[in-house]
Amino acid sequence: MRSVIWDDGAVKMIDQRALPWKLDYARLNTVEAVAESIANMTVRGAPAIGAAAAFGMALAARQSPATTVAGLLDDLRQCGDLLNAARPTAVNLAWAVNQLLQIAASGEFNNVDDLRAGLLLAAQQIADDDVAINRRMGAQGAGLIRPGAKVLHHCNTGALATVDYGTALGVVRAAHEAGVDFHVLLDETRPRLQGSRLSAWELERLGVSYDIIPDTAAGYFMQQNEVDVVLVGADRVASNGDFANKIGTYQLAIMAAAHGIPFYSVAPTSTIDLSLASGADIPIEERDSSEVTTPYGNPITPAHFKARNPAFDVTPNHYLSGIVTENGIARAPFSESLRRAVAGEQV
């Protein structure tokens, strides 16, 4: 099961808004529709939106009327801006768009048809690499889950949030595949409920033992000694290890520290943004307040009640026990270990 694929001239993706009730697919024929699918969270999760954007760029190249490589590059830059504007926090989106723009600007292709074919191959490669990298992260992190462990997880970081396999839930999956017996507490993750709708759907399919918990119950379970390790994903990691992830991650980190519970983020090196000195520089998306007052079209309050809806928060690096990457588990001092992991060194 891949969350996003290239399908005969279009981008096809699982419609994550319909889960867990229906496994529906969206088939998008324009780059505008791909950008909208990222903004409205038909596809979500940092690596998955990176892959969707890469295929969106390949689609844009195919549909551009340009007859010269320079003209096509101009069109692609505009489409890249459109895709980048869809969601600002996850760096994988801009990372994927940049990868394709660099290929278009490389001078490697001297006619538009070859460039179009080259961009599609590059997008496919980004999607394939994501799956391989997630499996490597799973292998690197599986040992963090001991037999009998109780794992706390936030949001959805599984196959749906990536092209396949997952990041933090990829670690969960690797431990499960290794035959380790353990239990996962899934934060429901308000307001979009990625935990109760998507992570629970994935763990049901995998046969991993889990319970959904209200976000507000995490501290209770820590106090009751029902959490041995916290595993979360990341949308952008700054060079000092501060990282943005789904709203609520920061308070989990503080509670884990208060209870002496190890707290790990699991993120591929494509999520690490060495250009940022600290988490203070990470742009935080604020989404429409109707997601809080009227989740999935179900009104909780009268329409005119006011609400705020930041989609991510930033956790300072000192709360982290480590960051699991495909090149090993980066530990403090993160400015050194993350630089080495991004350079492809084993950390």
Residues near ligand MRU (CB under 6 A): 44-47, 90, 155, 157, 161-162, 167, 194, 233-235, 245-246, 311
Q: Measured from the CB of residue 153, what is the shortest distance to ligand MRU in angstroms?
A: 9
* DSSP-derived pairing of the beta strands 4-6 and 272-273: unpaired
CA dist 236 and 251 (Å) reads 17
**How far is Cα 97 from Cα 73, in angstroms, rounded to an integer?**
12
Considering beta carbons, is residue 37 or 162 the nearer one to ligand MRU? 162
How far from 179 is each of 164, 176, 344, CA to CA, in Å? Answer: 20, 5, 29
- Provide CB contacts within 8 A for 86, sequence distance 6+: 35, 36, 38, 39, 49, 53, 93
* Distance of closest approach, residue 90 Cβ to ligand MRU, in angstroms: 6
Structure tokens at 319: 């709360």
Q: Which is nearer to ligand MRU, 119 or 187 (CB)?
A: 187
CB 312 within 8 Å of CB 284:
yes
Nearer to ligand MRU, 88 or 233 (CB): 233
Return the H-helix or E-strand segment holding 325.
strand 322-325
Q: Minimum distance from CB of 188 to ligand MRU (Å)?
A: 13
Shortest reach from residue 236's CB to ligand MRU, in Å? 9
By beta-carbon distance, which residue lies closest to ligand MRU? 233
Residues labelled catalytic: 235
The identity of residue 320, as a single letter, is L
Nearer to ligand MRU, 3 or 240 (CB): 3
Phi, psi of 334 (to 5 degrees): -70, -30
